[in-house]
Structure formats: C-alpha cells, structure tokens
Chain A
Amino acid sequence: MTSSLTLRERSEAQASRLPPLLARAEQLAGTVLLGDHGRRRAGLGDDFWQYRPAQAGDSKRLIDHRRSARGDQQFVREREWQIAQSVMLWVDQGASMRFASQDGLPSKADRARLLALATAILLVRGGERVGLTGTALPPRRGNAQILRLAEMLTVDGDDDYAAPEHRAMIPHARAVFISDFLGDLSEVELALTKAADRGVRGVILQLLDPSEEAFPFRGRTIFESVGGTLSHETLKAGDLRDRYLARLAERKERLSHLCRLTGWHLGLHHTSQSAQSALLWLYRALDRGRS
C-alpha cells in the first residue's frame, strides 16, 4: 500500500518533470529541423533525392520510365542516402551540475539535459539510434526511445563530480559527452582513450556557469561544493581569482589536447548563452563527424 503510494507519487513527480523537458527539447529541436535535414547525398534510402541522366553502367532497372517518357533522354531516379548511426550520450548527472549562480540562469544540469534530449530528438528524427553510454539504455530508434531517454536523463546523481561512463561502448559509434569537467580529468582521459581505441568519435561539450568563468567573489568566504564534500576557506577571495582562472585555463587546455589526440570535437558553452546556439553547434559537430 505504502510502497505503491510512494511509487505513484514518485512516478507522478517524474511524469510532471518529463513533459516540460520533452516539450522544451522538442521545441528546441524543431528550430533546427527546419533548415537542416537529411544526409544531403544520394544513396540508399526511401526518400526521393534527384533525377539524373542515365549513364553507362546504370542498370536498366533503375531507369525511371515515368520521367523518361517525357523526353528522349533517359533518367535515373536517385534516393537520398539513409543509414542509421548509433549515438551514445553521456550527460553529467553529478551534484556539481546542479548549480546556477543567478536566479535568472538555468542550472548547468538543466541546460545539459535539454541539449542532450534535443540532440537526441534531432538524431531520432534523422533516423539514427540514440542511447546512453553504459548498459542502462542502449541505442535504439523511435519516439519511445526519446521518452526513455528523457526519463533516464532526469535522474540526479549523488556524486559531487561524476565520472564519464565508458563501459559498453559500441565500436565505431558516435558519442556526446556533456559535463562541466570540473572533476577528475583522468577519468575523462580514460574514457576518451578507451573510446578512441574502439573507433568511437564524438563531441565533448563543456558547460560552465558564467560565475565559474568570472569568479566574481571577494572578501572572506568559505567555498563549498554543491554536494558538500569539498570546502575551501579563504580570507580574500579576490586574491584567488587569478590563480583560479589559471587553473581553469589549464584544465581547458588539457581537455583540448585530449580531444586533439583522440579526434573528438571540443565545445564550450555557458549557461548564460542561448541553448539553441549550443544545439546548432552540437548538431553540426555530429554531422561533420559523420560526413
């Protein structure tokens, strides 16, 4: 009785969270679909791509007689290339992502989930298979997968800084890692090298809050991580700024180096920027990786 009630409550809470995320992701994805769709190349597929004059070597079976009957020339009907890719998403669910420096800004986790889900919608509509890294949700296609993705993405993690999941990578698939990458970089390094070993290429999107870039703090301050596991006290926060920024730059440099080594794309996004630009960048980056 009790358990079913709590289950009901929890599921209602989950369900109430899902639609807005889904709706926002759909809306965000919709802005991209309009201008940028298909593979843009002739190939195997169902959709019409173009008529081209028949060339030597073309099978007679391929000649489109309806078109050819209108003139003396023979035409071949080409279809758009459609091939399914597997794309694996990893979204940092750690506590550090649940941070927003100002009331008007979304938390990093919120933005990461939104971007991930919107990318997933785009990919699914493009006919790709999308899943999560690890074994929890292997890549599948179809709208049901989006619902499952949305469900999985709304689960908060417990750790302060989550490590990327690198198990069960499908060889030659694509991957998208979205995180603030403020945790241990060696885990990331491990995941990327492992992925590179399997021929998985993809995109890393570093998502930062503006305050993490600017460090606008002064005076005597005790800094705590969102999860509460780490803390640091300083008497003059302003003096720490330069050294903090140096460390941040160093971290970005390491990530970029890592990406160059493994052939991944690295992107930086701030929660104060528009989600659409990040989505466009993500989609482009994935597209480019595929072509």
Chain B
Amino acid sequence: MTVLAGIGFASPWLLLGLLALPVLWLILRAIPPAPIRRRFPGVALMLGLKDDESVSDRTPWWLLLLRMLAVAAVIIGLAGPVLNPQQARDEDGPLLMLLDASWAGATRWPETRELIATQLTEAGRNDRPVAIMRLSDPEPPVFQAADAWRSRLAGLSPAPWQAGISQTDQAISELNTIDHDYDTHWISDGLSHDGRDQVLATLESRGAVRVFQTGGAVLGLSPAQFEDGAVQLTAHRSVAGSAREITILAQGRDPGGTMRVLASVPARFTDGALHATAALSLPSELRARITRFEIQGQHSAGALSLADDSLRRREVALIAGREDREGLELLSPLHYLEQALIPTAELLDGALLDLLPANPDVIVLADVATLSSAEETALTEWIEAGGMLLRFAGPRLAASNISRDAEDPLMPVRLRAGGRSVGGAMSWGEPKTLAPFAEGSPFFGLAIPPDVTVSAQVMAQPDPTLADRVIAALSDGTPLVTRKPLGQGQVVLFHVTANAEWSSLPLSGLFVEMLERLAVSSSAKAPQADDLAGTIWTPLQVMNGFGDLSDAGTLPGVDGPELADAPVGPEMLPGLYASADRRLARNVLGADVELPPALWPDRIAVEGLSVTSEQPLGGLLLSLAILLLVLDVIASLALSGRLGPGRIAAGLALVLMSTPPGPLQAQDAQDRDDFAIAAASEMVLAHVLTSDPEIDRIAQAGLRGLSETLFFRTSVEPAAPMGIDLETDELAFFPLLYWPVTPDQPIPSAEAYGRLNEYLRSGGLILFDTRDADIARFGAASPNGRKLQQLAAPLDIPPLEPLPADHVLTRTFYLLQDFPGRHAGRDVWVEAAPPDAEQVEGMPFRNLNDGVTPVVIGGNDWAAAWAVDDNGRPLLPVGRGFSGERQRELAHRFGVNLVMHVLTGNYKSDQVHVPALLDRLGQ
C-alpha cells in the first residue's frame, strides 16, 4: 500500500488518470448543451430575430468544474484510498502479550480488549503465534494461532488485585520455561508494582519489548472513615496532574430495598496533588444504609470502597440502677461505659419503657436487679426480636434474689447469693486476673493486659449449661462474662460492675475491645491485626476486578489478622467478610496508600492504548462522485431551460416532503386536533397512563365498564375512555381523571403539574387509587402510599377528610355508605367540609361545601372492580360468590355516584331534595 499524505492507496497507479482531466476539460468545454425542440405557434413572430451574442454555446466553467470534480472523485475513489493505513511492521516470530490485568486497568478494559484484538489481527496477518499471559494471575504461556486467542478474548478480565512478588516470581519462572525467543507486547495498567523490573529484564533477554500504556491517571478510593461527625473519604490518583474534580457516590439500599445512589460528594484534586479528600455528612439512619462508595465514572475494584460496621453507629441505651449518687461521677455505674461508647455509638438515655420503642441495638442494664413485669415482658420481646441486653453486676444485683433458684429469662445464668470478694482488706487471696480467652469465645485472640484484676464478682451457680455460656473466665475458672441466646437476640452478663469498684477491667483498653467484639460498639478505625486475632471471617461477597460484587459461595474463611494485614491476592479476595454479628469490608486499597505510576526505561517505547482503525475512503468518494453527477444533471437541466419554475417547485416540494421535521409538526398538530375532537365531541372518562402497561390496561377496561354502566343506568352516555399522557395531552376535556398509583411510575414534569393544577382549579376531579386497600392508612409505609404522597405533593389540593356520612357523594345517584372496589377498604378521602358546616335540626345532612371535591383518594382498586372485557363480562374476580357480586355492584354504584357528582356538583346537596331523600331513606 502506498501512502500519500497520510492516506494509503490500494492501487495508486489509477491516480495517473487524474492527468487526463485537463484533456477532458477541453473536450467538454467545446461541446455546448444540446438544444430542446419545442413546438410553438408563435414562431411566426420570431422569424428574423437574432441572438445577441453567441456566448452560451460553451459549457459554463462552474459546470465544467463540477464534472471535473466528479470524475476526479471517481478516479481517486477507485484508487482505493484508506485513512489511517496500518503500516505492516517487519516484526516476525512468536509474540507474547503480557497483561498487567489488575483492577487499575478495569476502567479502561474495553479499550484494552480492542487493542488486543487489533494486535491479534495484525499477528494473524503475519502468521505469528501468540501467547497471552496475565501478570496478576500467571499461567504457563501457550503459543497459539492468533485466531484461537480471538475467541477467548471475551473471557479475559482483570483481577481485583495487583501482581505482587509471588505472582511476578511465578511469571518469571513460567517465562523461563519457554525454549525459544519471542517479542513482547506489554499492556500495562499504568501502576507500578513489585517485581516489574525483573519481569522486564527477563523479557528483554528474549526479544523486543513494546509497552502499551495510557497516559491517564489511575484513580483509587480508600475505605471510608467516620471522623468528626462526617464520613471522610480519600481518593488517590497515580499521576499528579492538573486540578481535577471527581464525584464520589455513596450507594445503598433505600427504604424500598432498591439499590440507589444515596448521596454524592465532590472531591477535588488540587493542581499537583495525589490525594483528594471529601467529607460527607449524613444522618446516621442514612449512613447506616450505605453499602459502598465509588468514584463516579470509574469501573474498577480500586475505585470502590465497601462500607462495613465502622460506618454504622449503634444505638445503645444505658440504664443504671442507682442514679442518686450525685457528685460521684467516677463511681457512676455508667461513666466508663459512656467513655467507651461515646466515640463510636449513639447513646440513649431515659426510662426503659420509653427507650424500647426507639428500638436501640443494645440495652445496657448496669446493676439493675428488678424489673417490673411490664418492663420484663417488653424487654423479652425486644430481645427475642434481635436485641442485645448487656447486664453488669453490682451490689444490688448481688443482694437481690433474682435468678437465684430458677434461671431468670433475662439472666444468662443462675447466681449464688452474695457473690464473692477476693484480695480485699477483709479477705484472703490476691485479686484475680483473667484467664486467656478460650477458642470459640468472641474474645478469643484479645491480648489480656496483666494489670486487669478482679476483686469482687457475682458467682454463677454451676449448672449443666454453664460451660457453654461462659465466654470469659477468671484465672481460677470462675465465669467473668456469660452469655445466652434468647430468641434472635442474646443476654450477656458481666459478673463485675461497669465501674471500677469491683475490677480494673473498665479502666483497661480490653474493656473497649470486648465491647467491640460483642458488637456493642464498632471501631471507628480500620481494625489492626491484633484486634482481630483469633477470629475467623467468612466471606459474604467478593468483588472482581471491575468492582462487581458476587456471592462468595463456599470460599473458605480467613484468619482475622490476615484479613487486616495480608495483601489482596488470589487467597485474600477483596469483599465483605462476616464474623458472628460483625461485618468487615476488605477493600483493595488501604487507608494510606500511594498509587505509584509505572515508569519505563528510556529504551522501551511506550505507546498509547487507543487504536485508530483503518478507514477506507473509496465508498465515500464514489458517493461524492454520484452526488456531484446528480448536481450536474440538475445544473444541466437548469442551463438548457428544461427546468421550469414549476418543476423546481415540484422538486423542492419533494425534497421538503422527504425531510421529516415540517410535515411531522403538521402531523402533530393534526394528531392534537384529532385528539381534541375525539375527547370533546362526547363525554369521555380518562385515566392517567402509568408506565405499567398492565395497570393501564385494567384502568382502561375499568373505565369502559363504568362507561357502560353509566350508559345503561343513567342519562350519562360516555364514549370510549381514553388514556392520558400527562406530559402531552390536554386535560380540559375530561371531567374525571382516574389515576392509579404505582410505586414506580414517573413523577410528572413541572409543566404537567402546572396543567394538573389548572385542571383542578377549573373544576376537574382526580380519583387517586393506591390499589392497595389502604392497608397502611394514609401517609405511611406502603410503597403506593408513599408514591401517592410524592405524586400529590405539588398538586394544589385543599385540606382533606375521610368522606363524611352526609357527603353529597353518598346520594348523587344511589344512596351509598360504602365505596368498595376490588377491596372493600376503609376510608375514602375528599375535600374537607368547611369548619362552620353545622347540621340543622331535622335535616339529615349538613349544607356542605359548594362545588366538586377536586380529589378523591382511596385504595380500593376500583378500576379492577369495574373492569370488563370486550364482551362485557367482568375481567377480574371480586370477593367470593354472591357477596363478591354485591361488592362489584356497589363499586359500580360508587362509580355512577362519582361521575354524577362530577357532572352535577352539589345538586343533590340542595335541601329541595330532602323530602324525596327522606322518603327513600324510609324515615
């Protein structure tokens, strides 16, 4: 392929044809356009008239130019021009493609894959055997034909870790097993890692090395930390470039259970900085919902940080038995607990029965012996629902008879009377130290400071279950901490006080660690290896190189210290780990991390990832030639006068007709007119189109059924109902809008709300139907109810009240007191009566407000009860048997009353009708 000015030509000799153009110019120039023969009687008048000058017998220069360009385009087009021609390289022999394949390249993995595909194509063209090797997961390289690799390309994916020493060592040994020389294309992710130089040296000893690496920075995100009342986020980048702003998204499940972005915060890398920090201040409820943070636009495991317990601040209710010891702060049973918990937990203070509805995570009873029976019941219920009761002993507990003979449900063990005191002034023996924690205890692995001593404790009765329940013991074997499960929750008893009276335990750091292990508090900092000693963590979810989480399945558990310390690798997958009640996230990046960019020696050529693909221009040029020739035809016709103004107009009309916008708008206007005529020529019931086709179908069928009922029974004769798109359709034609509420329907735009409010003010009525039988009572937890609140918030709706028994809706056509649909639900809400509406003596109803209530809100799924199929049979079952049919009949009657109310307003509210109504009411 010959390359001229960046454009390659498949058959450059054809370009010599361009030399013929001047000759063509001369020939074409000499030939005038052919004359037209016309019959024309007026020729008799023209005899003897001479032309002014004989200029026009030559083709005009611009027409010649047009033709020359067309011919030139044909010649060049046939010569096969190619933009960005791929120059064949003179490389030969086996080719090794070495991929870093770490998380750092995951974001740009599509480009990488394209690059590999291009190189495979090239290698295939040159018949080079190819081996592909991933440095993060080295396998013995196999040299194969490029086509064989092509089919496996889709399976290549980056690993969520970077190649470490062990991987590079393995890679070098694998490479050394190859017994022939090879060239290498190293596709780097842009981050430096251990052992890279050794690998490079190995490769260079066997052949040429080319490196492909993007110049862009790799972004990473450290685990989130909670400090100063805000979530602190730190992002890193590998290249200290110019200032750049990124957005960090906090994702989690919303109350509806769907994953969504709960918050986002911008972070700014200043010019030349490698790190950017952002603080995200969130309410604790929302913070507890966050499951992950990620950098927007990045799709790699490193730009993702999973959130674990460290973000979760537990709510701990502290209740002490003695509150009367004013002034002795250090003796307060709660002092040390407060000190230990305040950094990491929300503390609640108050009476037990007041605190229980707040549903705290943990309730601490410090030296509380007796509880009232009401308290006991409520507390038991709470524990069985998953709460954790943490009790501390003390003089009162020791003196009481609780759990003495029979085990109290709220105590883990039976207690001996009195307890014991050791190492005091009046007793023998030394204060006892703690025994090492046994395996299986939640405290296993915690280091016990030697200065922790216990001088007094309550004693557990030796019961058969005692051994299972002890999770910490003194050096003499007596239980220090006991625990028993109760329902889904548990009860834990420290056999010492929560202050320093009986032991020095609350003074030590061990106390805080024990509380952490019990998941009473959660550490704000990333756990250290020591903190996790002796624990086994099972993976719940692990992530791949792209940061996608998948179920861990049967992956083996990992040792606690390893989880904290070991580098991420094949054995230590990043993800979410759990141990008992605690959850810990292992992220790809740690708290203090540098992302060193990969730098290469000067002798290595580094190329970018982007591939400019070959682009043949031949077709383009030939199309251009055809276009030019068409222009030439038009111009020639115009020149020779065969293109009359009429034909030009016809041609323009043709062109205009083939260009969509104008006619389309006309079509729109036509559609709108048709819609308006259809909606306004007869009375039409309408329903709002949700995004759910099934709901729309039921609504349509329901309104059809109601229309038929109205037609049969009343003088209202509606036409077929219509579905209304709030964004586009005019509402003014419809007396009544039926609006089924679905949780996932889109919120209308501001303009649509403007029109809706206009509609409501001008006397329209919207029947909101949450279709959930109003199980949640208005306002609350049902998704439909919440959606209704969202939908109705921007609407101009007056105060509402449940439909009063004397509302005009109860008697506009039928006398009704219930308004069932498919559900015989409870209240239907309408505009509230004016506060001064009084019932006059002897009148069965008040003189209520004028006009029509703008909204009727209910959840009885009326459309489903009204719905009929094409043959007029009910579409959906209502209730059972005859009572169901009665309910359907009442639903129809409600519909009739509603339409009558809309159409006649407060007509039936007129006192004139009182005698007739009284007569019908049988009074």
A residues with CB within 8 A of B: 96-97, 99, 108, 161, 180, 182-183, 209, 211-212, 215-226, 230-240, 243-244, 247-248, 251
A225 touches B41 (CB 8 A): yes
A63 to B: closest C-beta gap in Å: 63
Taken together as a complex, chains A and B put the C-alpha atoms of A271 and B205 apart, in Å, by 98
B45 touches A226 (CB 8 A): no
Chain B residues, Cβ within 8 Å of A232: 43, 46-47, 49
Number of A-B contacts (CB under 8 A): 105
B32 touches A223 (CB 8 A): no
B41 touches A99 (CB 8 A): yes
Chain A residues, Cβ within 8 Å of B49: 232, 234, 240, 243-244
Interface residues on B, range: 20 to 34
B38 to A: closest C-beta gap in Å: 5
A223 touches B43 (CB 8 A): yes
Chain A proximity mask over B25-50: 1 for CB below 8 Å, otherwise 0: 00000001111111111111111010
A221 touches B56 (CB 8 A): no
Question: Is residue B260 contacting chain A, with contact meaning CB distance below 8 A?
Answer: no
**Given A217-B641, A239-B52, are A248 and B36 also a contact pair (CB < 8 Å)?**
no
Chain A residues, Cβ within 8 Å of B35: 219-222, 233
Chain A CB within 10 Å — which of B38, B40, B44, B56 has the most?
B40
A212 touches B42 (CB 8 A): yes
B56 touches A224 (CB 8 A): no
Smallest CB-CB A-B distances: 3 pairs: A219-B641, A218-B641, A96-B41
B52 touches A220 (CB 8 A): no
Would you list which residues of chain B between 769 and 788 have a CB under 8 Å from chain A? none
Chain A residues, Cβ within 8 Å of B795: none
Closest to B644 in A: A216
Closest to A108 in B: B41
Chain B residues, Cβ within 8 Å of A244: 42, 45-46, 49
B36 touches A225 (CB 8 A): no
Question: Is residue B57 contacting chain A, with contact meaning CB distance below 8 A?
Answer: yes
A234 touches B51 (CB 8 A): yes
Tell me which of A212, A217, A239, A240 contacts B41 (CB under 8 A). A212
Question: Is residue B639 contacting chain A, with contact meaning CB distance below 8 A?
Answer: yes
B45 touches A225 (CB 8 A): no
Chain B residues, Cβ within 8 Å of A215: 42
Q: Name 19 extra pairs, CB < 8 A, besides A223-B43, A248-B45.
A: A97-B41, A99-B40, A182-B45, A218-B641, A219-B639, A220-B32, A220-B35, A221-B641, A222-B36, A231-B43, A234-B46, A234-B51, A235-B32, A235-B51, A235-B56, A239-B51, A240-B46, A244-B42, A248-B42
Taken together as a complex, chains A and B put the C-alpha atoms of A231 and B52 apart, in Å, by 18
Chain B residues, Cβ within 8 Å of A251: 45
B40 to A: closest C-beta gap in Å: 5
Closest to A243 in B: B49
Closest to B52 in A: A239
Chain A residues, Cβ within 8 Å of B40: 99, 211-212, 217, 223-225
Question: Is residue B911 contacting chain A, with contact meaning CB distance below 8 A?
Answer: no
A222 touches B37 (CB 8 A): yes
B41 touches A238 (CB 8 A): no
Taken together as a complex, chains A and B put the C-alpha atoms of A243 and B33 apart, in Å, by 24
Tell me which of B33, B38, B45 contacts A224 (CB under 8 A). B38
A-B contacts, 12 of them at CB < 8 A, read A99-B39, A182-B41, A216-B644, A219-B35, A220-B32, A220-B641, A225-B41, A234-B46, A235-B57, A240-B51, A244-B45, A247-B46
A219 touches B43 (CB 8 A): no
B36 touches A230 (CB 8 A): no
A221 touches B36 (CB 8 A): yes
Taken together as a complex, chains A and B put the C-alpha atoms of A97 and B41 apart, in Å, by 8
B44 touches A219 (CB 8 A): no
Closest to A226 in B: B39
Closest to A248 in B: B45
Closest to B36 in A: A221
B56 touches A161 (CB 8 A): no
A220 touches B41 (CB 8 A): no
B589 to A: closest C-beta gap in Å: 79
Chain B residues, Cβ within 8 Å of A97: 41
A95 to B: closest C-beta gap in Å: 8
Taken together as a complex, chains A and B put the C-alpha atoms of A243 and B51 apart, in Å, by 11
Chain A residues, Cβ within 8 Å of B87: none
Question: Is residue B642 contacting chain A, with contact meaning CB distance below 8 A?
Answer: yes
A250 to B: closest C-beta gap in Å: 9
B33 touches A219 (CB 8 A): yes
Closest to A101 in B: B40
Chain A residues, Cβ within 8 Å of B36: 219-222
Taken together as a complex, chains A and B put the C-alpha atoms of A182 and B35 apart, in Å, by 24
**Given A219-B33, A219-B36, are A237 and B41 also a contact pair (CB < 8 Å)?**
no
